[in-house]
Structure 1
């Protein structure tokens, strides 16, 4: 078995030999929150420093960071064929990276207690390095991010994971980040707001509301556990730290490449290729000031029906960032969202109901998404319950079938206090295998295979997959 895979698995399964306890980590992040001085005030667009709201867009005077643009969208996907909206245009590829190191024989991840102005509780556990190109290029004239040189100078042998993954396709236009994990052998200086945690501890902390940030979740979702074989699964299953109930057994088998899956990899490729050939998407840029059904006010850009989201201007003061005072636009939600996977053991192997979802900012029309994804409209209404597949099953799932249920923040650097309910639901044995046209059964290994090829698994699905663990389940 690949050595990196062994290291990841041991860090995932083993609950002993940790550098600090998980309880200590929770207390530590609480103390970080209590110590921090943060002020975020909504201001008029005219008060934004170094930003300009023009007829065409809202942009930074440097031409860097990001802009808020207007787009016109036409498609044959879904019930709405044409609309206009604001969208974040940030073509830069940023770093989301972890430094890892073996401590007491177990791989540990260097976590950062990072303050983001849009976080629900300001400080959350982020990757070692979380920086846009404008940040690490120091366009803001602030300090360089800590540990940047470890990633810039990493050798091929040090890199354990390196992927380009998409951001929210309904909010960003073709945005990607570099998700990277490197391993070091030498001792490194640990700064005040950094902490070593194992993969098992990170996943346990994901079970708490708004503790682990979105960038951490997207990186660890890509960790390659899908190179297992059925034979190696049988060996791993003797690990003493794992309680081998039906969910865990199904999950472990779902990691295996040669498992008896409901659909073959070729079936899934044919499925998504067919969907892409059926769909049409045309996007053109339009002036921000002339968007249909959107109102540009002094302090917000919002939809005339007060739904979807708003664009606001924020003045921000934070004590320990590279820059301690700045202003910027942010996306503000108008309701809480819902993302959920329904899963089922098929022939003893855990499978997930995955949908193909088109969002206007996607690189290639559609990406694989959770069974239910409701982010930009109110799902708690009769129309949604009647028309959206599987929503009723998710909302009415009995407690004993809920594997995972938490509130998780979106990325706090662009989104202001946005959180979504994340659920994993275990279906009954008599749950039908036949699915609607836009849905397909996939194993974890199959999802991982597509994740390696970039821009196939959307960020909402990756966030949910990051929570999968042998320890933090309710069943």
Structure 2
């Protein structure tokens, strides 16, 4: 595998993020997706966990007969984070690292991403746009006995490609135990021919971000990969020149321009990068996270009756069994356990203009499955507990500013799905809200103001930004 000059790559990504694509309009992509949904044959039905073929409840856990894929384990958590010092919960234990990868290629000078209309058993609308390759190690080593995933040869070293992005990023820390995937983008030459198989399509990065304005079209795995993309660092002087040129041509500055400024500017940050690293380090030192494996039957307040694994008050989430029949997958039918959320969640960033540049209010959040105690999360992240007034179990800082924001202050709002291979029909409201001068710059200890440029600097490294933050980052659009 080869690499290219990083500044050239970042500029190519930026051009693609500003492009409407060279092949198909966004409206036509939505129509194509609708047709993909109509053409597919699928049947997903809930069945008792004890009836899952190929799965067993043994050693006080739910696991596959092969010992591969994943298991549902019980854990006991002890922590000094916030006001719940210990609890028990089920968690997905999937130690193997999978591929989440895009093939990209320039067409007429604009980088395009090869996306797949992929069916997952947990998807609300069955088919969503996924990366070129989305496969666990058990999948691409064909433990299931099915076909090899399309385009695997571009990611496993068989084909010579340019590697533009290659990172290990964490998955949902509240549901997965120490789970990571390889987020990778590889490029082929403009003159290289590649067969576009049925169910695949070339789109620009700008179009992917445009499609994220619609609910449940772009899947979580696509969102996490494109969130790893950096667009370069520019001085205040360079950005003022860009703004002047746009004004000369009568191009008005608006919110997307201000997003772009926050992404590209290397100046005017409230906090230096080293100060933010020290902030995170101090919180990792302050908080403790003890995770002990226990049997499912030993978990307090959880019930497994052979049908489902659930909390006794039907809170948070449960684990169900599903039987799946799908027409265009490597394996056309199988059984598996899935996590089903008790309610829709909320993931939201508060943004504020500080020193003339937009900053995002980032939270240091502890979750049971985190590798390194805390990860950077959105200002508000409520996925497993109910955040609604009268039903929430603890105070959530800055929740009211997100929930009660006037429409004119909402930059982005859309329901987006969680990963459909493990989570059953789960969607969360993704929202970005602007606040004014009345909102203080001084914030609580677990929070820090960062520009988009700084956040993307941390995405470069493993396990800094959690998947909820990366999902919201992916939706930031520049037109």
Give the TM interval when normalised to the shorter protein.
over 0.9
Which residue number in structure 2 is paired with residue 428 of structure 1?
Answer: 436
Q: Contact 2:161–2:188 (CA<8 Å) still a contact in 1?
A: no
- Corresponding residue to 1:210 among 187, 212, 216: 216
Mapped partners of 1:91, 1:316: distance in 2: 23
Mapped partners of 1:435, 1:312: distance in 2: 40
Mapped partners of 1:138, 1:233: distance in 2: 50
- Corresponding residue to 1:467 among 443, 464, 475: 475
Q: Contact 2:362–2:378 (CA<8 Å) still a contact in 1?
A: yes
Q: Does 1:53 align with 2:42?
A: no
Mapped partners of 1:133, 1:242: distance in 2: 52
| Cα distance change, pair 227–48 in 1 and its aligned pair in 2 (3 A) | same
SS in 1 for 2:387: coil
| Cα distance change, pair 154–381 in 1 and its aligned pair in 2 (3 A) | farther
Could you tell which deviates more after superposition, 169-178 or 247-256? 247-256
- Corresponding residue to 2:229 among 203, 223, 227: 223
Which residue number in structure 1 is paired with residue 28 of structure 2?
Answer: 24
Q: Does 1:201 align with 2:207?
A: yes
Mapped partners of 2:59, 2:393: distance in 1: 39
Q: Contact 1:228–1:256 (CA<8 Å) still a contact in 2?
A: yes
Which residue number in structure 2 is paired with residue 319 of structure 1?
Answer: 327
Which residue number in structure 2 is paired with residue 13 of structure 1?
Answer: 18
| Cα distance change, pair 45–386 in 1 and its aligned pair in 2 (3 A) | closer
Which residue number in structure 1 is paired with residue 270 of structure 2?
Answer: 262
Q: Contact 2:266–2:453 (CA<8 Å) still a contact in 1?
A: no
| Cα distance change, pair 260–210 in 1 and its aligned pair in 2 (3 A) | same
Q: Contact 1:87–1:172 (CA<8 Å) still a contact in 2?
A: yes
Deviation (angstroms), 1:256? 3.2
Q: Contact 1:94–1:130 (CA<8 Å) still a contact in 2?
A: yes
Deviation (angstroms), 1:14? 2.4
Which residue number in structure 1 is paired with residue 449 of structure 2?
Answer: 441
TM-score normalised by length of structure 1: 0.95
SS in 1 for 2:183: strand
- Corresponding residue to 1:70 among 54, 58, 74: 74
Q: Contact 2:171–2:467 (CA<8 Å) still a contact in 1?
A: yes
Cα distance per residue 1:265-296 (max 9 Å; x no partner):
11101111111111111111001122111000
Cα distance per residue 1:385-419 (max 9 Å; x no partner):
98211110111100011111100000000000000
Q: Contact 1:226–1:448 (CA<8 Å) still a contact in 2?
A: no
TM-score normalised by length of structure 2: 0.95
Unaligned stretches of 5+ in structure 2?
1-5
Mapped partners of 2:251, 2:378: distance in 1: 26
Which residue number in structure 2 is paired with residue 117 of structure 1?
Answer: 121
SS in 1 for 2:34: helix
- Corresponding residue to 2:293 among 280, 285, 298: 285
| Cα distance change, pair 383–308 in 1 and its aligned pair in 2 (3 A) | closer
- Corresponding residue to 2:180 among 176, 187, 204: 176
Which residue number in structure 2 is paired with residue 360 of structure 1?
Answer: 368
Mapped partners of 2:410, 2:434: distance in 1: 6
Mapped partners of 1:203, 1:317: distance in 2: 31
| Cα distance change, pair 159–69 in 1 and its aligned pair in 2 (3 A) | same
Deviation (angstroms), 1:382? 3.9
- Corresponding residue to 1:338 among 327, 343, 346: 346
Cα distance per residue 1:199-255 (max 9 Å; x no partner):
000000000000000000000011012433434434554469996435334322222
**Following TM superposition, where does structure 1 have runs of at least 4 consecutive aligned residues deviating by more than 6 angstroms?**
154-157, 239-242
Mapped partners of 1:103, 1:27: distance in 2: 23
Superposition map of 1:39-188 within 5 A:
39-153=43-157, 158-185=162-189, 186-188=192-194
Cα distance per residue 1:321-342 (max 9 Å; x no partner):
0000000000011100000000
Mapped partners of 2:175, 2:394: distance in 1: 26
Q: Contact 1:154–1:182 (CA<8 Å) still a contact in 2?
A: no
Which residue number in structure 2 is paired with residue 396 of structure 1?
Answer: 404
Q: Does 1:253 align with 2:253?
A: no
Cα distance per residue 1:333-391 (max 9 Å; x no partner):
11000000000111221100001000010000000000000111111114749821111
Deviation (angstroms), 1:156? 8.3
Could you tell which deviates more after superposition, 451-460 or 55-64? 55-64
Q: Contact 2:301–2:311 (CA<8 Å) still a contact in 1?
A: yes
Cα distance per residue 1:9-62 (max 9 Å; x no partner):
1111123x5211111100000100111111111111221111101242100011
Mapped partners of 1:449, 1:67: distance in 2: 34
Mapped partners of 1:190, 1:236: distance in 2: 37
Q: Contact 1:142–1:322 (CA<8 Å) still a contact in 2?
A: yes
SS in 2 for 1:447: helix
Q: Does 1:2 align with 2:22?
A: no
SS in 2 for 1:445: helix
- Corresponding residue to 2:395 among 382, 387, 391: 387
